[in-house]
Structure 1
């Protein structure tokens, strides 16, 4: 069925009365040089407003809270699709609006009038048949945000409506229309610009980064999505933090660098950084006998991190935790966001330290700062080793366990776990380990005034 603007069709009147449908959106040409086009679904109450930021479903928030709406791989030549389980939609949701926006369209003088065509279709998932289709009239369109269509509730049935309502000014006015908080960006001499709430902004920014990154590094994007699942379980899907990776470069680590185990670890920690930090990078620190600030690692250089590091630094003969802890604390204290944006420090070692008193002092003093220390020890456990020589060669990390339970701290700011090889736990298992105590520290840090807000 072909619909005109304002036309509707009852989904219940379809021959199969489907409970699962797909709303598919598309435009042509699908790629316009210099134009970034995004699609999203807004779950709306009876008053036409969202219940909160989680009611926006798009590339990086790919599933609504209850799972009734989720991003789907588009069929044919469509650009974006959403799968709906009509039976799972909460009773408080009366309407789902499917929208398309041109990123910074107003600032770039871009509008839907530059497209040749755009459409929305309703598909019965069970039979893969098109129930209805709406071709949007774009001639002369000056808007950079548009509601293409909507699925809405009428009594005990669901309907699909062709909308085609545009918004001058782009995403900001669209967000206001759906009840999201916006504010003026205050740019002098520029046209008034609106923006979504901070959480929504971060989601959209991450979405755009991942769209670009997926073309170059789909494996890394897959990892970022796994991180997202783990964070969602902890209520941290919109959390912002800086991420530091602190790596042992003592000579005993040489086999782990050669085997690729550290490459795997760097990739996993970078994926966490891509979720947590708006700049999508992690800060790397190294320690052996001395402490070193390696600099930042991102999607552009993580694959060459190990050879780059080894060209600059030789593996060292000693192991000193305290020196690098002091360096890390100084590095972040100089950051303007310190005390407001938390810092997640991933501290990796395969041996004990030579400066225990200094390390203790650093962790105790840092308990009043916005840094969380996640210690990961690498090596076989002594208590599981069989035979005299196995026990002799097994690693003893009682000091790291001691730091985890250190007395005299303002709050508990550390956690510790041990693995034989950092590449052996699955991605999912590793992210569960990394998030073991971090949410508890966040709450304590805010309650005790260590972190603002």
Structure 2
């Protein structure tokens, strides 16, 4: 049974789990239901563009983002080292289950990469006047790909109204093990490039 984390909690992911190397990181969200009529129009419902959330991974070296090739997103689906693969873009967030998935082979992550930061931002948020108050049921989960067992899940419960990006969680090295931290921090970064600048 998966361990459910709250914001700010950390868990040792690999300790005691010999052979845990291939994991799936699933990220999910749903658009807030916005009906028609007066209230729907007042709050932006009825005919607006879908909120297109994009999941990405920043590969950090000594907690710093140093090269564009270390950003895995819909425009660069696989890391050069082959340790991380994004399975593709979901444009609407509709439907059950993960909206976007990232496959990680922990044994292939280069030794000089100490942290993998998982972020979600809204594509073209400013022009579309969209924010994470229009999204609900956001989560991140980690699955052992060898047996499809869900190991960890973190449901983001904060009010993210007005925020255009989320720093969801991070996998990081601690001695010879990998740990996961549930972050859930909302930011006003408008684009993915703005997010990466925070780690330079």
Q: TM-score range by the shorter chain?
A: 0.7 to 0.9
Q: 1:147 aligns with which of 161, 167, 170?
A: 167
Partner in structure 2 of residue 82 of structure 1: 102
If asked which structure has higher relative contact order (CA below 8 Å, sep 6+), I would say 2
Q: Which has the higher strand share?
A: 2
What is the deviation of 1:39?
Answer: 1.1
TM-score (structure 1 length as normaliser): 0.37
- State how far apart, in whole Å, the 1-side matches of 2:112 and 2:168 are: 22
Does the CA-based 8 Å contact 1:3-1:132 persist in structure 2? yes
Q: Deviations over 1:195-228 (max 9, x none)?
A: xxxxxxxxxxxxxxxxxxxxxxxxxxxxxxxxxx
**C-alpha distance after superposition, 1:102-126 (max 9, x if no partner):** 0221343311111122000011110
Give yes or no for the alignment of 1:159 onto 2:185. no
> Counterpart of 1:105?
125
TM-score by length of 2: 0.80
- Partner of residue 150 from structure 2, selected from 130, 140, 144: 130
Matched ranges for 1:8-407 at <5 A: 8-13=10-15, 15=17, 17-29=19-31, 33-34=48-49, 35-46=51-62, 48-72=63-87, 77-171=97-191, 172-179=193-200
1:380 match: none
Gaps in structure 2 of 5+ consecutive residues: 35-47, 91-95
For the 8 Å contact 1:30–1:79, the answer to whether it is kept is no
Give the aligned length: 177
More helix by share: 1
- Determine helix, strand or coil for the equivalent of 1:62: coil
What's 2:93 paired with?
none
Aligned equivalents of 2:151, 2:18: Cα separation in 1: 10
Distance 1:150 1:140 in 2: 19
Larger radius of gyration: 1
Shift of 1:13: 3.1
Contact kept in structure 1, 2:160 and 2:186, CA below 8 Å: no
Task: Flag structure 1 segments of 5+ consecutive residues without an equivalent.
Answer: 180-453
User: Residues 79 and 31 (structure 1 numbering): CA distance in 2 closer, same or farther, change over 3 Å?
Assistant: farther
In 2, are the aligned partners of 1:6 and 1:161 still within 8 Å (CA)? Answer: yes
Residue 363 of structure 1 is matched in structure 2 by none
Q: What CA deviation, in whole Å up to 9, does each residue of 1:338-381 have, x standing for no partner?
A: xxxxxxxxxxxxxxxxxxxxxxxxxxxxxxxxxxxxxxxxxxxx
Aligned residues: CA RMSD: 2.2
